[in-house]
Amino acid sequence: MLRTRTWLPLAKNLRFYYTVKTGQTTKDPHQVSKQIYSRIKATGPITVADYMKEVLISPTGGYYMHRDVFGESGDFITSPELNQMFGEMVAIWFLNEWSKVGSPKPLQIVELGPGRGTLSQDLLRIFDHFGALQSASLHLVEVSPVLSDIQAKRLCIQTENIVDPTSVIYRQGISHEGIPVKWYRQFDDVPDMFTLLVAHEFFDALPVHKYQKTDDGYREVLVDVDSNKEHSFRYVVARDETPTSKLFIKPTEKREHLEVSPESLILCKKISEKLEMNGGLALIADYGHSGTGTDTFRAFKKHKLHDPLVEPGTADLTADVDFNELKRCATEAGGVIAFGPITQRDFLLKMGIEHRYKALEANAKPEQLEGLKYGYRMMTDKDQMGERFKFLALVPSVLEKILEKYPVVGFH
Ligand SMILES: C[S@@+](CC[C@H](N)C(=O)[O-])C[C@H]1O[C@@H](n2cnc3c(N)ncnc32)[C@H](O)[C@@H]1O
């Protein structure tokens, strides 16, 4: 079954306190299409994972690289963009769990794939409100130059680009609250320090390999050019096993179609290693399944489903996250324990979103009420984001005894 990233019509006044910047577009919208076409012509069909990576983050025309893709004028909307309550609940969760382990300092807040920087903005606002930003810094992992620009404008009073090619930080600044903010292209470069890490709708953007059951066993689905039409693509099924199908398909596998994201699994392992080594907490929120998902690779353009092979680079590509596999990779070395996945609805309600909603409603101007109610319902309703989105928490195993006595909030 296909799941949608977002739903229209969007209500007005979704957020109270900022206006949405309109996006830039690349000069040639067919750039990525041409690149992939030439590549396949030269070397043969490519994996869906290679296709997805090229389409989303190719420096020359990748979907995320040259425009603001969010909101009414973009292709989809995310929970932090809908309403401030989302970021507030996440912030309260972190503050609660952090204080349980003695509020270690210095504190490093890390966000993977911050989009417009809205979730980080809400986190900093709440942390600041509770006086939790002394000795804190914010670290953003973002590949998109345009989105990092938008994040910098939203979060910082000043920023500078770092031109030194040996530096793993490509931009830095000072936030409105007065803490250092740094930008990296990859998680590996984030310093080793006590970390509160959040990844919202990040893992679903990481490349997946697709497989299909055939009479000869599982075979990888590849992307080939469509010889009937220039710059068009089609799926083909590999004749033989590919290195990844040998590696990733379990002997017990039964599904007709399945997707595997090695990049996500490796990243999850790295997050766990950092948490184990330096201490910290991670919250991964995304739409996903527990090992039952099948054919979920899809595209969104202007808030509608779109064919992933048509006009690549002009639509968002995404696939459901396999939380079972993330959890397995995070915990298999034994240094980290995982809680969840639980639904977004459960998480937000247990964190007290209802009370926050009522307080905001009581103080809202009449023209803000529609957006507030719409945001609340979208985030919590079972048939909207409430059940589709899941939360997974990762905590170092050394905390197991403490957590038996004082369980992780929201997850029990
Ligand atoms: C779907 S958006 C989510 C944005 C934000 N977390 C939110 O919920 O509004 C994905 C984000 O991840 C970034 N991104 C995608 N692939 C990435 C990669 N491989 N490395 C770093 N950032 C990536 C995108 O540029 C974008 O900021």
pLDDT tens readout for residues 76-97: 889 999 999 999 999 999 999 9
The mean per-residue pLDDT over the stretch 37-43 comes to 94
Q: What pLDDT digit, counting tens, does each position of 106-155 carry? A: 999 999 999 999 999 999 999 999 999 999 999 999 999 999 999 999 99
Residue 27 pLDDT: 62
d(CA 373, CA 81): 14
Task: Count helices and strands (H / E) in the chain.
Answer: 14, 18
Q: What is the DSSP letter of 20?
A: P
d(CA 276, CA 266): 15
Degrees, nearest 5: CA angle 388-327-294: 50
d(CA 249, CA 218): 8
- How far is the centre of ligand 1, averaged over its atoms, from the C-alpha of 143 (Å)? 8
Domains of the chain, earliest start first: 52-206+261-405 (3.40.50.12710)
CA atoms within a 13 Å half-sphere pointing along the CA-CB vector of 219: 12
Provide residues with CB under 6 Å of ligand 1. 56-57, 64, 78, 80-81, 113-115, 119, 141-144, 147, 200-202, 205
- How far is the centre of ligand 1, averaged over its atoms, from the C-alpha of 142 (Å)? 7
d(CA 313, CA 78): 20
Q: Is 334 left (phi over 0), alpha (psi -120 to 50) or beta?
A: left
- How far is the centre of ligand 1, averaged over its atoms, from the C-alpha of 407 (Å)? 30
Q: What is the DSSP letter of 311?
A: S
Q: Inform me whether the pLDDT recorded for 21 exceeds 80.
A: no
Query: Are the beta carbons of 201 and 379 closer than 8 angstroms?
Result: no
Residue 10 pLDDT: 42
Residue 72 pLDDT: 75
Nearest CA, atom 16, ligand 1: 205
